[in-house]
């Protein structure tokens, strides 16, 4: 039996360890490239896998021939830089952890590199592969589509305030964390043709906005609305309404259903063995990237870019000049 070619895993933090666990579970050899010695030591202690350290350019130059596939699980502030370096060095396919970029300039840089090199970049939104989401997608198909989606990306602000995070990471928390929910909502509803939002208030670590409300109309005709409050308690959640059922994902890992006959919400039994004991959704996401199973649900950079104006409106309440949802 032919041994699969190795894959590059760039990053040595907690998320990189999760990816390494999945790759090991799927019997995919991988080389791990980190930066600092402390994270590398922790990774090696947890996994038994050696981690390279130092500047990424130097580590890549030491390869005789670079692997064709790579996963980028570096700190959010370095995702664009690392992805760009890999693409320019000749890696042909890259799965990069969400959000891939933390502002429009970084996103534009990645789009330019795709144009110049032809690299395929996919964005890692693992919630698309949760057992709850897989079953909800099936129900949407059975019921003939989506009428409306509402979602809440409220964050545990007091816990976040206590974290030792750089201010840049806190300023872009919406992109680095909250877009898990927004991406999933638009995954169900589809691309938006119009959208409007407002923000108010603020919290100590994110003074620019603390309450987010708004609405959108998807090209599919589905209506979308959001209400998130970082100033008070709350949690992520979503409701997807079809002609037959209301699908309730709160937490996102569980699925409850209400039908026309009752106000009762029924818990749906899910097959959690799909996750193979790994971080929920990550096995399905990596399988999609490596083997193509469910790859239609793994967003390319172009899809991510098309939704960026919606993200900006949700995050800031500002309206883009062009409301088509395209860059």
Q: What pLDDT, in 10s, does the model give residues 201-211?
A: 999 999 999 99
- 292, part of any domain: no
- How far apart, in whole angstroms, are the C-alpha atoms of residue 223 and residue 214? 11
Is the Cβ–Cβ distance between 166 and 249 less than 8 Å?
Answer: no
pLDDT digits (tens, 9 = 90+) for 156-172: 999 999 999 999 999 99
pLDDT digits (tens, 9 = 90+) for 7-32: 999 999 999 999 999 999 999 999 99
- pLDDT (0 to 100) of residue 187: 98
Number of domains in the chain: 2
Task: For residue 78, give every residue at least 6 positions away whose Cβ sits within 8 Å of its Cβ, in sequence order, or none.
Answer: none
% of the chain residues with pLDDT over 90? 95
- Tell me which of 97, 124, 151 is where a domain ends: 124
CA distances from 106 to 79, 82, 100, 229 (A): 9, 12, 8, 27
If asked whether residues 156 and 18 sit together in one domain, one would say no
- pLDDT (0 to 100) of residue 321: 66
If asked whether residues 179 and 103 sit together in one domain, one would say no
Question: Which range of residues forms the domain containing residue 209?
Answer: 128-275+301-316
Record the pTM. 0.94
- How far apart, in whole angstroms, are the C-alpha atoms of residue 9 and residue 126? 17
The mean pLDDT value for 294-318 works out to: 96
CA distances from 277 to 24, 118, 266, 273 (A): 12, 35, 25, 7
- Tell me which of 73, 104, 124 is where a domain ends: 124
If asked whether residues 164 and 309 sit together in one domain, one would say yes
The sign of the dihedral angle between the CA atoms of 14, 18, 19, 20 is positive
- 264, part of any domain: yes
The CATH code of the domain that includes 183 is 3.30.360.10
If asked whether residues 167 and 306 sit together in one domain, one would say yes
If asked whether residues 84 and 136 sit together in one domain, one would say no
% of the chain residues with pLDDT over 70? 97
- pLDDT (0 to 100) of residue 323: 41
Is the Cβ–Cβ distance between 305 and 111 less than 8 Å?
Answer: yes
- Tell me which of 91, 124, 157 is where a domain ends: 124
- 290, part of any domain: no
Residue 37 has pLDDT above 60, yes or no: yes
If asked whether residues 170 and 270 sit together in one domain, one would say yes
- 288, part of any domain: no
If asked whether residues 233 and 172 sit together in one domain, one would say yes
């Amino acid at each position: 039996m032919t041994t699969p070619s190795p894959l590059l895993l760039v990053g040595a933090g907690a998320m990189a360890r999760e990816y390494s666990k999945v790759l090991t579970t799927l019997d995919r050899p991988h080389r791990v490239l980190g930066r600092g010695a402390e994270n590398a030591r922790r990774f090696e202690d947890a996994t038994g896998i050696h981690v390279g350290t130092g500047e990424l350019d130097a580590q890549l130059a030491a390869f005789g021939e670079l692997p064709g596939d790579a996963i980028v699980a570096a700190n959010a502030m370095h995702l664009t830089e690392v992805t760009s370096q890999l693409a320019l060095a000749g890696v042909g396919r890259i799965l990069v952890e969400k959000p891939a970029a933390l502002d429009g300039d970084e996103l534009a840089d990645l789009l330019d590199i795709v144009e110049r090199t032809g690299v395929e970049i996919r964005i890692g939104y693992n919630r698309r592969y949760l057992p709850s989401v897989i079953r909800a997608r099936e129900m949407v198909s059975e019921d003939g589509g989506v009428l409306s989606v509402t979602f809440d990306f409220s964050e545990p602000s007091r816990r976040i305030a206590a974290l030792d995070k750089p201010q840049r990471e806190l300023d872009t928390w919406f992109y680095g964390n909250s877009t898990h929910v927004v991406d999933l909502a638009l995954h169900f509803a589809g691309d938006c043709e119009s959208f409007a939002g407002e923000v108010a208030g603020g919290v100590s670590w994110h003074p620019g906005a603390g309450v987010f409300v708004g609405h959108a109309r998807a090209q599919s005709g589905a209506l979308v609305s959001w209400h998130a409050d970082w100033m008070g308690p709350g949690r992520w959640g979503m409701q997807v309404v079809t002609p037959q059922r209301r699908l309730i994902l709160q937490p996102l890992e569980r699925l409850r259903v209400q039908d026309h006959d009752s106000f009762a919400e029924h818990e749906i039994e899910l097959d959690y063995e799909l996750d193979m004991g790994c971080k929920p959704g990550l096995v399905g996401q990596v399988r999609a990237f490596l083997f193509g199973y469910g790859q239609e649900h793994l967003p390319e950079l172009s899809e991510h870019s098309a939704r960026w104006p919606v993200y900006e409106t949700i995050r800031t309440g500002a309206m883009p000049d062009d409301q088509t949802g395209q860059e």
